[in-house]
């Protein structure tokens, strides 16, 4: 009797531990007595006569022999797949998983639901003791229908086998969209039969290292001359789509237009604006009808390849300089009554959106694409840290995918930069990704928030191992929020599950960041700094950079120092020159003035080479208190350095100037601390 009780307690503990290590957390779970022993290959049976479920049956047939068998012996563990409605939850991806001693039943009304039930069962087996799964019933359904991951394959090309490997893991945590950023400055990565020069001319380049390539002129060379890169043939794309479909993932192509197109212009110079022949021009000419024919031709082939309901057209970060001086763009503006070059992209997007719509697809674009003339069904992918901008998207009635730069950009540091591989400049630890609130600051119809997406931009990510380190484990947090919702968060409980996943990933040949060795945030960044300048007014003799406004005029005296990265609204950027004055309100005794500057050479954030502190009692007549001139020889990728003065003095106004002679860099400052 005692032995039986001990066994029941052990099975209950096993069930509790196992269910606690599932990511994302199932929405409903009821634990029961007993256990299902899956210590040998299981027999899978089904009632799936609907051809829609053929993909599930094919997926099961491809599982390793160690998991499933064709044996019909009575003593073989049995898993039953059933097409049926899950009453508690609506939605196509809901499933019910019932584990009993005599077998397991997974029920769902859709192939996706059955697939996700299988993933949960496989995870339970992965973490069970002696392949013994405690009996339970799980009823599960996602909070969001769109749960995405974007891979930038333009800046660095990754072969399809790498993509297959990521699909395996991503689908197991119920990510259901793979967004491929196929074209950009780094190279054109998809075969377009009508324009073979796109791949023959720009799929390979002179250098693998992104910065070295740009320094050397950004040139493309053929593969047989030692070129670095590659591209996907249309057959490769079909293979990726097929593999993804077996894992219930939709593959969305992104053909970035009309900006980020310097690789197009390199082989099709006729699409440049007149008067702009520089290879660094990134925008196609919108006054040229050939541009529209080219884009439509490319989209025709892309649409015929991809069964996805969405086609991503980019639309981000378009400059208007080339359009402003182009005779053809000026003629278009006059002909169509377009008020200025800043409205040309709106004309382009509406025209392309209507073309895609006629082909039975819906466009997605980054939030710069938002405009009152945008086709009504267009979906906006919001990457800016701007609740007001998101509210504007909702007010205009567009569905929205949240891809917050500060939470979901996986090219940013996830820990102390000096122990991390080179990254693009931001700092987004797992905790910050997990803390994301999809509805924060929104006042409109939140039903228009359709999902979340993590993005891995790859300027600094060259190898598969580096890519996996950046993806995992942070995407686990996005998967948790997008499936299980953002309520009832417990980071300490979540991180315990992440650690278990990390060990399993490594055992299966992945290369995740080891969260158990995390250093954590910059010391002092989570507390308010004591300073005479806190809350005091700041005058800007040179404006801050529009790229890094932080919180505006309050940034440098809000009492909060920056964390490890440029994101997070704490580091304010200046275009090579910073010149600000702090008004203390009245003359005060001072003994130190300190500022910090961040260097991240990958993103052209440099330390100042001229630094000066001046003081004044009246705000008009200043005297120099401290100055420093030096030639920086720092070769570190990253550092945060303190600049300042200490001594004795009395003043009301403190002027801080800093500059770099290059003229083209950012000076990043977080706080002026006066004591």
Q: For tokens 């520089």, name the residue.
A: 278
pLDDT tier at 7, thresholds 50, 70, 90: very low
377 or 119, which is more confident? 119
pLDDT tier at 441, thresholds 50, 70, 90: confident
Q: Which residues contact 379 (CB under 8 A, 6 or more apart)?
A: 310, 362, 363, 364, 365, 398, 399, 400, 401, 450
Q: Measured between alpha carbons, how far is residue 627 from residues 274, 346, 499 in Å?
A: 47, 48, 49
pLDDT at 16 over 60: no
487 or 633, which is more confident? 487
Cα dihedral sign for 599, 207, 202, 272?
positive
pLDDT per position as a tens digit, 532-559: 999 999 999 999 999 999 999 999 999 9
Look at 272-286, 352-366, 452-466 and tell me which has the smallest mean pLDDT: 272-286
Residue whose C-alpha is closest to residue 402's, from 431, 377, 430, 379: 379
pLDDT per position as a tens digit, 613-639: 999 999 999 999 999 998 766 678 899
Q: Mean pLDDT, to the nearest integer, of 374-385?
A: 93
Q: Mean pLDDT, to the nearest integer, of 92-111?
A: 96
Structure confidence at residue 630 (pLDDT) = 81
Q: For tokens 């496989």, name the residue.
A: 122
pLDDT per position as a tens digit, 64-83: 998 998 777 778 899 999 99
Structure confidence at residue 488 (pLDDT) = 86
Q: Mean pLDDT, to the nearest integer, of 488-516?
A: 95
pLDDT at 154 over 60: yes
For 478, other C-beta atoms within 10 Å of its C-beta total 28
- Alpha carbon distance 263, 185 (integer Å): 5
Cα dihedral sign for 308, 309, 311, 315?
negative
Token pair for residue 435? 């803390």
Look at 316-320, 524-528, 597-601, 631-635 and tell me which has the smallest mean pLDDT: 631-635
Token pair for residue 179? 């967004």
pLDDT at 17 over 70: no
The pTM of this model reads 0.94
Do residues 568 and 610 make contact, with C-beta atoms less than 8 angstroms apart? Answer: no
Q: Mean pLDDT, to the nearest integer, of 105-120?
A: 97
Residue whose C-alpha is closest to residue 582's, from 562, 559, 565, 606: 559
Structure confidence at residue 632 (pLDDT) = 65
Structure confidence at residue 6 (pLDDT) = 38
- Alpha carbon distance 188, 63 (integer Å): 34
Q: What is the mean pLDDT of the chain?
A: 93
pLDDT per position as a tens digit, 174-202: 999 999 999 999 999 999 999 999 999 99
User: Looking at beta carbons, which pairs linking 355-363 to residues 24 or more positions away fall under 8 Å?
Assistant: 355/296, 355/299, 356/299, 356/303, 356/311, 356/313, 359/299, 359/300, 359/303, 360/303, 361/303, 361/308, 361/309, 361/310, 361/311, 362/309, 362/310, 362/311, 363/310, 363/311, 363/312, 363/313
Domains along the chain with CATH numbers: 2-140 (3.30.379.10), 146-268+279-321+346-517 (3.20.20.80), 537-674 (2.60.120.260)
pLDDT at 222 over 80: yes
Q: Mean pLDDT, to the nearest integer, of 164-174?
A: 98
Structure confidence at residue 176 (pLDDT) = 98
Look at 16-20, 100-104, 157-161, 324-328 and tell me which has the smallest mean pLDDT: 16-20
Structure confidence at residue 20 (pLDDT) = 57
pLDDT tier at 8, thresholds 50, 70, 90: very low
Q: State percent of the chain over pLDDT 90.
A: 86
Per DSSP bridges, beta strands 537-540 and 577-600 are antiparallel
pLDDT per position as a tens digit, 227-265: 999 999 999 999 999 999 999 999 999 999 999 999 999
- Alpha carbon distance 513, 299 (integer Å): 37
Look at 22-26, 420-424, 433-437, 589-593 and tell me which has the smallest mean pLDDT: 420-424
276 or 536, which is more confident? 536
Structure confidence at residue 373 (pLDDT) = 85
Structure confidence at residue 22 (pLDDT) = 94
Q: Which residues contact 641 (CB under 8 A, 6 or more apart)?
A: 596, 597, 599, 607
pLDDT tier at 579, thresholds 50, 70, 90: very high
- Phi, psi dihedral angles at 165 (to 5 degrees): -60, -40
Q: Mean pLDDT, to the nearest integer, of 80-102?
A: 90
């Amino acid at each position: 009797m005692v032995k039986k009780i001990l066994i029941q307690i052990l099975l209950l503990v096993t069930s509790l531990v196992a269910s606690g290590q599932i990511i994302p957390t199932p929405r409903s779970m009821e634990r029961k007595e007993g256990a299902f022993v899956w210590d040998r290959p299981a027999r899978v049976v089904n009632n799936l006569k609907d051809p829609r479920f053929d993909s599930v049956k094919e997926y099961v047939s491809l599982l390793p022999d160690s998991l499933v068998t064709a044996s019909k012996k009575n003593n073989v563990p049995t898993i039953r797949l059933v097409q049926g409605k899950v009453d508690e939850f609506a939605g196509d991806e809901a499933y019910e998983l019932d584990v009993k001693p005599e077998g397991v039943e997974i029920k769902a009304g859709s192939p996706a639901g059955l697939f996700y039930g299988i993933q949960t069962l496989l995870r339970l087996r992965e973490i069970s003791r002696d392949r013994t799964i405690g009996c339970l019933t799980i009823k599960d359904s996602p909070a969001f229908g769109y749960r995405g991951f974007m891979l930038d394959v333009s800046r660095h090309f990754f072969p399809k086998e790498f993509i297959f490997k990521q699909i395996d893991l991503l689908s197991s945590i119920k990510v259901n969209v793979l967004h491929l950023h196929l074209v950009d400055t780094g190279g054109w990565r998809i075969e377009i039969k009508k324009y073979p020069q796109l791949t023959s001319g720009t799929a390979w380049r002179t250098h693998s290292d992104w910065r070295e390539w740009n320094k050397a002129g950004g040139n493309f060379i053929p593969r047989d001359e030692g070129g670095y890169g590659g591209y996907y043939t249309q057959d490769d794309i079909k293979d990726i789509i097929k593999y993804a479909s077996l894992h219930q993932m939709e593959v969305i192509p992104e053909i970035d237009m009309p900006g980020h197109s310097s690789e197009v212009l390199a082989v099709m110079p006729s699409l440049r604006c007149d008067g702009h022949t520089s290879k660094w021009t990134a925008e196609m000419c919108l006054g040229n009808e050939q541009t529209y024919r080219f884009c439509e031709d490319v989209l025709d082939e892309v649409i015929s390849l991809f069964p996805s309901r969405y086609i991503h057209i980019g639309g981000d970060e378009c400059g208007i300089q080339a359009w402003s001086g182009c005779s053809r763009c000026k003629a278009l503006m006059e002909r169509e009554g377009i008020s200025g070059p800043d409205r040309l992209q709106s004309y382009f997007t509406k025209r392309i959106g209507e073309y895609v719509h006629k082909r039975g697809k819906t466009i997605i674009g980054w939030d710069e694409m938002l405009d009152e003339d945008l086709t009504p069904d267009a979906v906006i992918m919001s990457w800016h840290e701007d609740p007001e901008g998101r509210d504007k998207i909702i007010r205009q009635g567009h569905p929205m995918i949240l891809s917050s730069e500060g939470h979901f950009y996986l090219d940013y540091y996830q820990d102390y930069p000096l122990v991390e591989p080179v990254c693009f400049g931001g700092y987004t630890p797992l905790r910050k990704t997990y803390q994301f609130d999809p509805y924060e600051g929104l006042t409109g119809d939140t039903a228009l928030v359709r999902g979340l997406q993590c993005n891995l931009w790859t300027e600094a990510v060259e190898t598969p191992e580096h890519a996996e380190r950046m993806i995992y484990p942070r995407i686990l947090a996005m998967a948790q929020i997008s499936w299980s919702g953002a309520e009832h968060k417990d980071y300490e409980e979540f991180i315990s599950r992440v650690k278990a996943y990390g060990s399993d990933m490594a055992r299966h040949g992945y290369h995740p960041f080891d969260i158990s060795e995390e250093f954590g945030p910059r010391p002092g960044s989570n507390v308010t700094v004591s300073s005479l300048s806190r809350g005091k007014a700041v005058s800007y003799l040179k404006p801050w950079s529009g790229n890094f406004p932080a919180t505006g005029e309050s940034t440098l005296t809000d009492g909060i120092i920056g964390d490890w990265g440029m994101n997070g609204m704490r580091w304010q950027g200046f275009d090579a020159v910073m010149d600000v004055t702090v008004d203390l309100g009245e003359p005060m005794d001072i003994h130190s003035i300190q500022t910090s500057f961040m260097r991240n050479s990958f993103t052209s954030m440099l330390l100042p080479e001229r630094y000066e502190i001046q003081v004044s009692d009246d705000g008009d007549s200043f005297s120099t208190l401290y100055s420093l001139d030096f030639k920086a020889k720092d070769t570190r990728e990253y550092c945060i350095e303190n600049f300042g003065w200490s001594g004795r003095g009395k003043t009301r106004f403190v002027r801080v100037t800093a500059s770099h002679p290059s003229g083209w860099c950012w000076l990043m400052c977080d706080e002026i601390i006066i004591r």
